[in-house]
A and B are shown apart, each in its own frame.
Chain A
Amino acid sequence: MTADETKLYQQLRAGSETALAQVIGHFGPVVYALTKKVLGPAAEADVEECVSETFWRVWQRIDQYDPNRSTLRTFILMHAKYAALDGRRYSRRSRDKDPCFLPQAAPPMVDTEERQRVQHALDSLSTLDKKIIYLRYYLDQSIKVIAKEMELSESAVETRLWRSRQKLRVLLDESEERGLVT
């Protein structure tokens, strides 16, 4: 974490609204882009609402952030993803008519070593395959949407995903056996 991020984090913990504004200014563009990507075709106001929800969650849950496990940016993006997925689900269900569908919580993050191990495996993929994996598993895009964006056939996307998964499995199993930490 950079010195600036550390400072922002400490100020957020102290409840500083100025720090909140700085966080929005600093991370807003990437959160906005990610939210828009997950929401797909959505009204501008809905995207903004979702981005605001993200920062509100960050503000509320800053105590859960552990600087030893991830960067502040990762923490914020994780909340952005889940806020956007919740937003997408709400809009699909229309409609808030069933209060049973509560927002999903972001899963607890695993430790840094494990993250590095997986990141290392992901880095071994080609840029295209990595992008497809990210779009599919992190941004929850449908095969159809990915195929359109990457200008590939749906079948090609499926096949690439399948090969990438096989490769990741092998790499993760190997690194688990060797206790590899990069």
Chain B
Amino acid sequence: MKKDSIRQTLESLGIPDDLPDVVLEPSTEWSRARARRIENMTRKRARKGLSVANRTKVLTLAIFLVFLAVVGYGAASAGWQQILTYIPGFGIRPMEEEARVLAQPLSVEEDGWLLQVSGVHATAANTTVNLRMRPPEGHRLAPNDKRVSDRLVHRPTLMVEGMTLEPNSLSMAFGQEWVARIDFPPLPSDAYTVQLTIPEELGRHWNVEMALEVAKAEDVFWHSHMLADIPVAVGTLVTDQEVVVTVQVRLSDTPALTQLGFSSLGFSECRQENMSNPPDVHPSVERRELALPVRLLVGEERIVPRWCEGYVQGDVRYLEYRFALDGEAAVELVLEVPALVMVEPLSTQFIVPVAASGSIQLDKSVSWGDHTLILTHSERREKSVRIYLEQPDDAAYPLVELDIKTLSPPEVTGSSYTTDRETGRVMFLELPIDDPVQEVRLQLSRPHWLVEERYRIELAR
């Protein structure tokens, strides 16, 4: 019970019998005429079996039937079969005609340097190759390395059936490694083996052979959710070895400030070691790259993605996560989605009384923008002062990190700690003050908020 929010508890109980008496004024607007109108509308629906919610489905079906009639059942059926596919490195997406993809991810190591080809997507229009190059452990990419990479003096090429294909365009991102997405002209229609050559790049010559196969339609299930105010579509695909989750966010549906968090998505990526960090201080928040770290919970066990990647298609931002998961015949998973929401910087000031020793009950609330902090108590410690606070369960965006400094005593910088990792709503502020002050005047500010929403998705395996 303690872990459940009150909202969940109350929700599951349905509507209390006395709710109308407590909350609702008797409607003076109800009339016989209105009753008759509603009765007629309801009767019509009851006869047609058509609800507002079903209208969309019916409309979709109608459009599909018209489509069938226009293009013919055979073609439509084929199109339907090809509607979705999963392409590693490109995510779950509508299937292109005659798409070929990398049969197996490739990794080649040389002198501690690692070249990975994470995905290939070849259509009649073009061929895209995703790759990344990681230096040996301890080696940091020198500015010179970056400069060379940036220019890519020696451009990668594709060799296929005796032809050499030069890249049309190349996009890159840097970090501890460099990541590239390279667009080439289309491959010959019968080519299933291609050689990728990266001559003399970063002092190394890479030559890898890539096997391609025809992309297959997959059993992708789509779920739709509201993430705070952001509508997201979540596609899940379960294979024998992994669970692939693709979160799709349409920028035009996203509040303007939050768009900042998504707009920077290009080649944002994270590896397992990044994702194993606690969710409340996710490194991607710092880098503002990956806006939606996603975890899966299997029972009590939290599983971090072994791979995740962001990519862009027009107005839509995709975030793809791949979780290694095998063993169970059937599992029930909880998908957690904490989202970075960029909002205006905010700051507030308030005074907190401090005891000479021990603690003082505060039970005081502080309004901060659209939010409220409940200051529960302050505590005098040996060399510091702690101020405990909670955020209401129904706060839209729980705070996870605060910038804290004091105005009195002057210029003491504090830190915030989340004590309740489950919800992130219980915190204390630690201020290194050992003077015998009776009160502290605080200024809080924060660069961003984190939103955390959870929902359950059942995955049959």
Contacts and interface: CB of A to CB of B under 8 A. Distances in A.
Q: Real complex partners, A and B? A: yes
Interface of A: 17, 20-21, 24-25, 28-30, 32-34, 36-37, 48-49, 51-53, 55-57, 59-60, 70-71, 73-75, 77-78, 81, 86-87, 89-90, 93, 96, 98-103, 106-110, 114-115, 118-119, 122, 127, 130-131, 133-139, 143, 154-155, 158-159, 161-162, 165, 168-169, 172-173, 176
Contact of B35 (A28, A70, A109, A136): A28
Given A37-B23, A77-B20, A59 B46 contact: yes
A37 B231 contact: no
A168 B51 CA distance: 37
Nearest to B29: A32
B372 A155 contact: yes
Interface in B325-353: none
B212 interface: no
Q: Is the interface of B mostly helix, strand, loop or mixed?
A: mixed
A163 to B, nearest CB: 8
A87 B52 CA distance: 9
Given A49-B52, A98-B231, A154-B372, 13 more contacts: A17-B46, A34-B19, A37-B23, A56-B45, A75-B14, A78-B15, A86-B52, A109-B12, A135-B23, A138-B10, A138-B15, A162-B365, A173-B2
B12 A158 contact: no
8 contacts: A20-B39, A30-B24, A32-B27, A36-B27, A37-B23, A107-B14, A115-B14, A159-B372
B455 to A, nearest CB: 11
Interface residues of B, number: 57
In the A-B complex, list the 5 residue pairs whose CB atoms are closest, starting with the nearest: A100-B224, A52-B41, A158-B372, A33-B27, A29-B30
Contacts of A100: 222, 224, 231, 233
Contacts of A133: 10
Interface string B7-36: 101111111111110111111011000110
Interface stretch (B190-198, B276-284, B310-318, B386-394): B386-394
B1 interface: yes
Contacts of B226: 89, 101
B46 A115 contact: no
B10 A169 contact: no
A28 B29 CA distance: 11
B253 interface: yes
B266 to A, nearest CB: 25
Nearest to B7: A137
Contact of A103 (B27, B34, B53): B53
A74 B14 contact: yes
Contact of B390 (A20, A74, A162): A162
Contacts of A37: 23-24
A138 B16 contact: yes
B47 to A, nearest CB: 9
A33 B25 contact: yes
A93 B254 CA distance: 11
